[in-house]
A and B are shown apart, each in its own frame.
Chain A
């Protein structure tokens, strides 16, 4: 019985439910270990003129206070450009920026120590909003563009109908439950072992080595698991890891950094807020003729991954729809905020929300049902199937997905019912929308599309697997466990996924872009196949029988059900464990390192053309909302999801990814509002004020179906990536709000920003002047 395709529990499930699964702060302290924290900048912009740590150092239990002057080698770091400081160096860039590191014997001494460090600075007016940054042309990096077809203004002019507007999209906090954390253990001769809650151990190894001024070979990064990542630990685990390593180097003692939730939210980056200027020209039936976009993302104080994120925005501005004439441009705006970073979807969600907003606007303008507009625009199978960047949407199932979901969700009947009820119900306003999703799978930086894996067999027939992929709850280890088990015909319980370590897997890509099962799973399978070749040869000899005329034949050797046999004589079986033991005695190598590089992809970011994606994950969602007409409060009443993830490796894991992703997307578009004051300090910095969906926000009527699809033959086990795509199904909750508002007043719907919070909805219902989201607030009553 193959394990792939079956629902086995998460490989840490028992640890999770018993509390035995450990996270970094659960690791017992070793003798002399120090608690490490930092003093955050109290201002968003200004010159740092002095740090007085004398009082802090005098506090009993405070061991050291370090500033930029204490950094052994490189203070500047960053994944694309070294433009972000570990510790403030002359300039203060955002509220919450690390200025000084404090190390102490106890947590209490640490808190008192941090409070006792005094700063001198000259405050300057901060740059906080996208509008100001655009006005002042304070951009990070260069403009990127993807375009095709005729000159855009001319093409817009040719269309019989035109609409244009500005769309505001809010950011989103990752809100992984385990905050950023790292523990550093100093070793001999300048070596360092860093345990980090990171999606990117290789990046941690690199930045720690560069900060310390040692070779990469002197640093090992280990990641057992994360309590959630969602992109927030792709690059931003770097600062806590470097802080721990700096203290460990300076003191010679182990050092532990555990951010509390408030510190984490105030000092780390989030999903990028966007300002989108758009203009669309379309036919009388709603078909888009030309679409022009200017995307501006709020990058915060440094580049981080913003250029790659903007690239994915431009590559997803078509979403599920064919755009004959396109001109998409993107710029990253500098602001005095923590550097915004990866978050599930990675720039895709903003682009897709912007396009679904436009489709909804077209429908309202033409008084058409938005579903008909979507169907008119959706990518075709034989024609109208080339993206603006030149990749053909192969094996396109979007038209079928739209039709299946419209039927199964009774979309049309429910729209009619909603119109009827909205006309008479004085308390509640309803809306329904069905939106599409097409998400490209692969890193758009070609070199990252590689994975390596180490597979070790032991003489009892059990297996340890190590890959560069990290486990953050998404079930990567469970899926690889199943694939490896199937390769050797073993029960999955005989396969154990080991902590990720740069010692075992070097030069790894981040666990990101939904591609980790594809890359690391394929690498692990490749390693298994190497070992199998050796074992087959060995087993073939053992299974041969000269007397019976059975010659040794490796190609007839089968691994199944924990035994090995020759297909020509299946009744003679050798148990897998003893076979491994004997193989070792005959000096057969029972370990291998596998490698996989995604074939056939390439993208030229200068020309904006290429085939960046290995394949697309596609889907659609139909969401119904109910709005309290007097308070703007929103209930997501029903959601129907249909998604094509190919052949599921573990339906239980994948279902969890889909539902969880959808709810996370729903939170982004309806409830999760980042509020800052006029000085640039985040006010919504804990779950008291930042509201991710709770259990009662899950639609009572929630239906999920997988689109039956067996044609993704190019990928491992015909599966498709599932990590990020479902988040963008949540966009339907926002378009449903826009649909609901259109019943109250067409004008009301045009101003709706994202997220559609109760306040935002009531503002539209009350026809108030549009405010810019993120306009400053003051502290709150409690």
Chain B
């Protein structure tokens, strides 16, 4: 057991223990290191001003894999064995990197407060692929808000930086010496502790599931953290850090993502980015060349995020048994910085009725795999929630992963997320509609709605009505009436109850119009 963590920041070695292991990365950078280029605006991962690059070791390749994250909702205890690069760390010998130079040349900054975040996000993009097109840039920058420029000069800077020589961070900061030190520590669990204001805090960072369950047995109410994209916000807004924290970030056995013929399996540590990559690569046997690792998925997302509203009857992307539909919803999940750390397990356990992924998981009858100290169990997600923010999890248990039946070839599947802004916004309404047809007749119907009650709900009566009916506009109008009687929305900051009732009705009509192009004769 180590009582301190080890990380590097801009190539400098930092051994951290005690109170500082519980602070956010942005506070550590600004207050402990004096690296004030990382800016704080919202403290909730919704603006990207604090974007930094976190490099995680890829021991097999002998380098770090750098991704942009929001440093305000990432905590030091999550970062053992990483190399953090901030805006101050991009320059070599006082020369601007290609992104920085392009931002200067293109008037990509005005007030400058968001600028370091954009520089880091764009540098991160160029770490993952040699060049980006404008759609990929847009998709890659949804996590960064700017109030001055209207973004256009920033996009121009991004395009311009394509043309310049870009020095990769693995060249700027040779990985070997850092990795050598990390290699010896990678299987060593951490037990961090500190006391302040008379309150004691512990954080465990085990390297095995067994270690995690053991800690959980001793601290059954510990807060379990993977990406911290929800918990981080809660900590920042309340100013209070939970007394016991179990961090899953170093448990390699929870990293798994598999897309099989029958089901998709996802470990609790797998991030949304991991899932997107797995889906993108699933049908393609092509090699996963490192430089282009994200390329296929970024291109796909760019297409999804393209601004043209789909044409009538134009066949939508309908790839891979509806997996593409799932990827489309993931693509608008938070933003890239959030998807790089946030997990599907976190989305499930957070138990919000507006969680983006849940309606899909409901209509697919996904299974949640739960581990306790002595046994494992599996539960259908439709049975997992007992009420607002209440789950079936018992003290001492944790979610190990999810098994999602893969959408079938002939499933008609549509997912809906309605939010005030398309990207980087929390849903005001979500829905999933899945049907099987024989000829014109509906043989199976699964419909789930989110943000219309204390939990996501299956519209059971609507489903029962639909089975046996022909898929016509009239049928869907009647289904809309029934569905509206099944939901219990409230007025809140993201929309009125009336709006949500209208959406409940309308998505069923939209589903009808959207699927007309797909009703090809058998």
A residues contacting B by CB (< 8 A) are 7, 9-10, 12-23, 25-26, 28, 60, 108, 111-112, 175-179, 225-230, 260-262, 424-428, 472-475, 626, 628-631, 633, 635, 637, 652-653, 655-656, 659-664, 671, 673, 675, 683-684, 686-689, 691-700, 702, 757-759, 762-763, 766, 768, 771, 776-782
- The chain A residue with its CB closest to the CB of B47 is A687
Do A23 and B113 have beta carbons less than 8 Å apart? yes
Whether A762 contacts B493 in the complex (CB less than 8 A), given A177-B114, A695-B141, comes out as no
Q: How many residues of B contact A (CB 8 A)?
A: 103
**Which listed residue, A230, A427, A762, touches B499 by the CB 8 Å rule?**
A762
Query: Taking each of A629, A694, A697, which has the highest tally of chain B beta carbons within 10 Å of its own beta carbon?
Result: A694
Contact of A427 among B149, B388, B510 (CB under 8 A): B510
22 pairs from A and B in contact (CB 8 Å cutoff): A7-B107, A18-B88, A19-B116, A176-B147, A227-B112, A228-B113, A473-B111, A628-B510, A631-B503, A656-B110, A656-B149, A675-B493, A687-B42, A687-B44, A688-B233, A693-B421, A695-B138, A695-B423, A698-B150, A762-B503, A763-B498, A780-B492
**CB 8 Å contact bits of B16-51 with A (1 = contact, 0 = none):** 000000000000001000111111111110110100
A472→B111 CA distance, assembly (Å): 5
B110 with A763: CB separation less than 8 A: no
Known pairs A424-B312, A630-B510 / 9 extra A-B pairs, C-beta < 8 Å: A16-B112, A60-B197, A631-B510, A633-B422, A660-B148, A662-B150, A694-B145, A696-B423, A781-B352
Cβ-defined contact, A18 with B91, below 8 A: yes
* Complexed CA–CA distance, A768 and B506 (Å): 14
**Complex-state Cα separation, A25 to B38, whole angstroms:** 11
The 3 closest A-B pairs by CB, nearest first: A19-B37, A473-B111, A227-B113
Are A696 and B312 touching (Cβ within 8 A)?
Answer: no
From A25, A691, A696, give the contact of B138 (CB < 8 A). A696
Residue contact B424 to A428, C-beta cutoff 8 Å: no
B451 within 8 A of A: yes
Contact of B422 among A13, A23, A696, A776 (CB under 8 A): A696
B152 at interface, CB cutoff 8 A: yes
Nearest B-chain residue to A628, judged by Cβ = B309
Given contacts A427-B312, A656-B110, A695-B142, contact A688 B305 (CB under 8 A): no
Q: In the complex, A629 Cα to B416 Cα: how many Å?
A: 14
A759 B499 Cβ-Cβ under 8 A: yes
- Most chain A CB neighbours (cut-off 10 Å) among B39, B88, B96, B309: B309
Residues of chain B lying within 8 A (CB to CB) of residue A779: 492-493
Chain A residue with minimal CB distance to B427? A781
Nearest Cβ distance between residue A30 and chain B, in whole angstroms? 14
Whether a CB of chain A sits under 8 angstroms from the CB of B354 is yes
Q: Chain A residues near B47: list those with CB within 8 A.
A: 177, 687
Q: For the complex, is B308 an interface residue (Cβ under 8 Å from A)?
A: yes
Query: Is B11 interfacial (CB 8 A cutoff)?
Result: no
Complexed CA–CA distance, A633 and B499 (Å)? 12
**Closest CB-CB distance, A748 to chain B, in whole Å?**
13
* Chain A hits for B112, CB < 8 A: 10, 12-13, 15-16, 21, 225, 227, 473
| Contact of A697 with B421 at beta-carbon distance under 8 Å, contacts A17-B115, A18-B91, A688-B42 already known | yes
B153 to A, closest residue via Cβ: A656
**Inter-chain contact B490/A261, CB cutoff 8 Å:** no
> Which of B150, B237, B502 is close to A663, meaning CB atoms less than 8 Å apart?
B150
Shortest CB distance B221–A (Å): 21
A228-B111, A261-B41, A663-B151 given as contacts; is B426 within 8 A of A13 (CB)?
no
Shortest beta-carbon distance, A671 to chain B, in Å? 6
A18 to B38, CA, bound (A): 10
Contacts of A228 in B (CB 8 A): 110-111, 113, 147-148
Do A762 and B502 have beta carbons less than 8 Å apart?
yes
Using a CB-CB cutoff of 8 Å, which residues 124-159 of chain B contact chain A? 137-139, 141-142, 144-155
Known: A228-B148, A630-B509, A697-B421. A19 touches B104 (CB 8 A): no
**CB of B277 to closest CB in A, whole Å:** 21
Bound form: Cα–Cα A18–B153 in Å = 17
Contact B100 A17 (CB under 8 A): yes
Confirm or deny: B239 has a beta carbon within 8 angstroms of a beta carbon on chain A: yes
Nearest Cβ in chain A — how far from B375, in angstroms? 32
Residues from chain B with a CB closer than 8 A to the CB of A693 are 150-151, 421
In angstroms, Cα B142 to Cα A688, docked, is 13
A768 to B186: give the CA distance in the assembly, Å: 61
Let me know if B494 is at the binding interface, CB within 8 A: yes
Interface membership of B109, Cβ < 8 A: yes
| A226 and B111 within 8 A (CB) | yes
Q: Which residues of A contact B496 (CB under 8 A)?
A: 759, 771, 777
Chain A residues, Cβ within 8 Å of B422: 633, 694, 696-697
Instruction: Pick the most buried of B109, B116, B230: most chain A CB atoms within 10 A of its CB.
Output: B109
How far apart are the CA atoms of A382 and B310 in the complex, in Å?
Answer: 48
Q: Distance in Å from the Cβ of B36 to the closest Cβ of chain A?
A: 4
Does A700 contact B307, Cβ atoms closer than 8 Å? yes
Interface contact A17-B509, CB-CB below 8 Å: no
Question: In residues 149-202 of chain B, which contact A (Cβ within 8 Å)?
Answer: 149-155, 196-197
Of the candidates B107, B138, B148, B494, the one whose C-beta lies within 8 Å of that of A652 is: B107
B113–A178 CB distance below 8 A: yes
Q: Which residues of chain A are within 8 angstroms of B493 by Cβ–Cβ distance?
A: 675, 683-684, 689, 777, 779-780
Is residue B3 within 8 Å, beta carbon to beta carbon, of the partner chain? no
Contact present for B150 and A660 (CB under 8 Å): yes
Chain B proximity of A772: nearest CB distance (Å): 12
A470–B418 Cα distance when bound, in Å, is 41
**With a CB–CB cut-off of 8 A, which chain A residues contact B429?**
631
Measured CB to CB, the closest approach of chain A to B70, in angstroms, equals: 12
Q: Which residues of A contact B507 (CB under 8 A)?
A: 630-631
Tell me the complex Cα distance, A425–B510, Å.
12
Is B303 among interface residues, defined by CB-CB distance under 8 A? no
Contact B310 A427 (CB under 8 A): yes
Shortest Cβ distance from A59 into B: residue: B197
Chain A residues with CB below 8 A from B439, complex form: none
A693 vs B420: C-alpha distance in the bound complex, in angstroms?
10
Instruction: Please name all residues of chain B whose beta carbon is closer than 8 Å to the beta carbon of A702 when the two chains form the complex.
Output: 152
Q: Which residues of B contact A673 (CB under 8 A)?
A: 420
B-side contacts of A226, CB under 8 Å:
111
CB distance from B348 to the nearest CB of A (A): 15
What is the bound-complex CA distance between A12 and B109, given in angstroms? 9
Closest to B102 in A: A17
Task: List the A side residues contacting B388 at CB < 8 Å.
Answer: 781
Residues from chain B with a CB closer than 8 A to the CB of A687 are 41-42, 44, 46-47, 145
B20 CB to nearest A CB, Å: 13
CB within 8 Å of A: which of B88-124? Answer: 88, 90-91, 96, 99-101, 103-116, 119
B499 touches A659 (CB 8 A): no
Q: Which residues of B contact A659 (CB under 8 A)?
A: 149-150, 152-153
Q: Could you tell me if B196 and A695 are in contact, using CB atoms closer than 8 angstroms?
A: no
Contact, CB under 8 Å: B510 / A777: no
Task: Name the residue in A652, A660, A778 with the highest tally of chain B Cβ atoms < 10 Å from its Cβ.
Answer: A660
A14 contacts which of B96, B153, B495, B499 (Cβ < 8 Å)? B96
State which residues 45-65 of B face A: CB under 8 Å: 46-47, 49
| A427-B44 in contact (CB<8A) | no
A780 touches B494 (CB 8 A): yes
B152 CB contacts on chain A under 8 angstroms: 659, 698, 702
Chain B residues, CB < 8 A from A260 = 43
User: Which B residues are CB-close (under 8 A) to A778?
Assistant: 490-492
User: Is residue B281 contacting chain A, with contact meaning CB distance below 8 A?
Assistant: no
CA of A14 to CA of B91, assembled, Å: 11
- Alpha-carbon distance between A19 and B34 when the two chains are bound, in angstroms: 11
Q: CB-defined interface of B498-514 with A at 8 Å, one 1/0 digit per residue?
A: 11001100110110011
Is B353 in contact with chain A by the CB < 8 A criterion?
Answer: yes
Residues of A within 8 A of B495 (CB): 759
In the bound complex, residues from chain B placing their C-beta under 8 Å from that of A225 are 111-112
B87 touches A (CB below 8 Å): yes
Distance to closest chain A CB from B447 (angstroms): 15
Residue of A nearest to B302 (CB): A696
Give Cα A318–Cα B280 distance, bound, in whole angstroms: 55
B468 at the interface (CB under 8 A from A): no
